Amino acid sequence: MSTTAMYSVSVRASNAPMNDVRQNLADYLAPLRARGLSLRELSRRLGRNESYLAQYLAGKKSPRKLAHDDKLALHAAIGIPLELLGLSPSTLGPTPVVGPPGGADDVEPCDPSDVGSDVALPRAGRPFRVTRDVVGRHPLGLQVGDVVIVASHAEGLQGLRSEQLVLVEMPPREGMPRRLLLRQFIRPALVITNRDGANEAVSLDGGPAGDRPRVVGVVQSMLRPA
């Protein structure tokens, strides 16, 4: 059974010029490309056209720089340190930790009657109560005890957009049971926590298909019980 490697990243403040970021990426990719990593495949994993990274590394007019989401996706895909991509703590927030998150479920199903008799729930969606502080820095500012209304999602990663909150099913691994995680989606295939302190990121497209985390629901709305 494959596992996702875990490592912490110490992010230094960086004002690296654009050309330095390009050279840093080229230098980091060189040994990986020598071992068979294809720029075409890596561009595909970023959700870009096949020539995207080749054009960037060659200094073409388009793209002149990498998008923020692309940098996060590259970090998740190949492990390049974030500081080599010119990302600063003010840009990223807390230091990320990449790997399979530990602990219990982030949410638990709750009965609609527990939300309050005076609250009209949407017809579509199922209520879950937030049990862990994992996305408190997201614009919704979810807190432990809040209720999120989640619509089921069975279309893979299609139609998801960056910063959308999703429920992710983590398969059992290394003696840990199946878990249900509340995460922020980052295009094309990354989910992250967004909270004060250490953060976690998990790739959704690594490893055998049957052993990958998968998005099973999308947060439609939230309620804060009185």
Residue 140 placed within a domain: yes
Q: Which of 52, 72, 95 is the last residue of a domain?
A: 95
In the prediction, which pLDDT does 54 show? 92
Expressed as residue numbers, the domain containing 66 is 7-95
Residue 2 placed within a domain: no
Can you give the CATH number for the domain in which 114 is found? 2.10.109
CB 154 within 8 A of CB 199: no
Residue 188 placed within a domain: yes
Are residues 170 and 114 part of one domain? yes
Residue 203 placed within a domain: yes
Are residues 190 and 114 part of one domain? yes
Q: Which of 95, 127, 150 is the last residue of a domain?
A: 95
Can you give the CATH number for the domain in which 52 is found? 1.10.260.40
Are residues 68 and 22 part of one domain? yes
Which residues of the chain have a pLDDT value below 70?
A: 1-19, 76, 88-103, 113-124, 174-175, 206-210, 226
The DSSP result for 52-100, as a single string, is HHHHHHTT-SSSSS--HHHHHHHHHHH---GGGGT--HHHH-SPEEES-
In the prediction, which pLDDT does 175 show? 66
Taking the CA atoms of 123, 129, 135 and 139 in sequence, report the sign of the dihedral they define. positive
Are residues 194 and 117 part of one domain? yes
Q: Which of 72, 95, 118 is the last residue of a domain?
A: 95
What are 48-102's pLDDT values in tens digits? 888 899 999 998 878 888 888 788 778 767 778 778 888 764 444 444 444 444 5
Pairing of strands 165-170, 214-223: antiparallel
In the prediction, which pLDDT does 179 show? 87
Total domains in the chain come to: 2
Residue 100 placed within a domain: no
Residue 1 placed within a domain: no
pTM for the whole thing? 0.59
